Structure 1
């Protein structure tokens, strides 16, 4: 799988429409990720740190994201 470079992300708080992964832990222990689709970029963050001022966000292009998801489906 090839990972393509993506531009730096702006501050996404209050802008991005985040959704929690359906595959995240359902035990209520906070082990979750959230994703947001932004044009040609998918942003991923840790839901435990989403309100932090400098929270880390991983961003990948949609082609890389689709490849990642397809790889997960074929190995699951």
Structure 2
């Protein structure tokens, strides 16, 4: 005997599932951005510490600039 029962979702259920998926996706992105910002901030703090200790010279600020730009980009993405 062949089972011919099919389960279908109502339009409301489908929209609800899509909304739930989008919310979970957005939450995951926010969590990742938060983790990335912590890494960037730790990198900035480490750079400043090394600079203050005289281990980094002024001609190597490009790494700090990249970290700051990344942090600003992550902040701007959060505001959009």
TM-score (normalizing by structure 2)? 0.22
TM-score (normalizing by structure 1)? 0.23
More strand by share: 1
